[in-house]
Amino acid sequence: MKILGVNEYNIDSCISIGIHVQSGKGDAWKDIIKIEDRELDGDTVDKIALIAPDATISIIRDYYVAEKYTVKLDDHVIGLARCSNPNCITNKGEPVSPEFTVVCRKPTQLRCRYCDRILVDISNNLL
């Protein structure tokens, strides 16, 4: 919900959350967030890929699945999260966006392109 930027003051549509829902594919389970009247932009999808690299986005128009795709994490992540190292130059008011290189995809591990540290706690450092 933080990534989606949704709170009680800025949304008029219905939001549904399903936790531990049977997926219909064998014994698999999944969690679902369904948000009405909203299509996600690229940055939002990229942030979802950071914390849920296996997430699937379905866009439903007129009751039918118009688009369905799995999020994809690029090799380089720019401007989506801040470096968790407080002493990193990117946290010191310089005119640069934080940049990370993906060093591991499962679990997701990002290394800061400036200070070389591994980003700790991705979800709490999303911009």
Partner 1 sequence: MDLYDKDVVSIRDFTKDQIEGILDLSEKMVPYALGDKTERTLDGKILGNLFFEPSTRTKLSFESAAYRLGCDVIDVSEMSMTSISKGETLADTIKMVDAYCDLIVLRHPYEGSARLAAKFSINPVINAGDGAGSHPTQTLLDLFTMREAKGTLDGLNIVLVGDLKYGRTVHSLAEALTMFGAKITLVAPESLQMPDDTVSLLEEKGCRPVKTAILEDVIDQADVLYITRIQRERFPDPAEYDKVAGTYRIDNAILREAKSDMIVMHPLPRVGEIAPEVDGTQHARYFKQAFNGVPVRMALLNAILGGELRWRTSTRSRRSRFLPSGTGPSSTTSNAARP
Question: Which residues would be at the binding site for partner 1 (CB under 8 A)?
Answer: 83, 85, 87-90, 92-96, 111-118
- Shortest Å, Cβ 44 to partner 1: 27
Nearer to partner 1, 6 or 118 (CB): 118
- Shortest Å, Cβ 80 to partner 1: 17
Contact 73, 79 (CB under 8 A): no
CA atoms within 13 A on the CB side of 113: 13
> Distance between CA atoms of 25 and 13, rounded to whole angstroms?
29
Nearer to partner 1, 3 or 83 (CB): 83
Beta strands at 99-105 and 76-78: parallel, antiparallel or unpaired: antiparallel
Nearer to partner 1, 30 or 113 (CB): 113
Contact 85, 63 (CB under 8 A): no
- Shortest Å, Cβ 95 to partner 1: 5
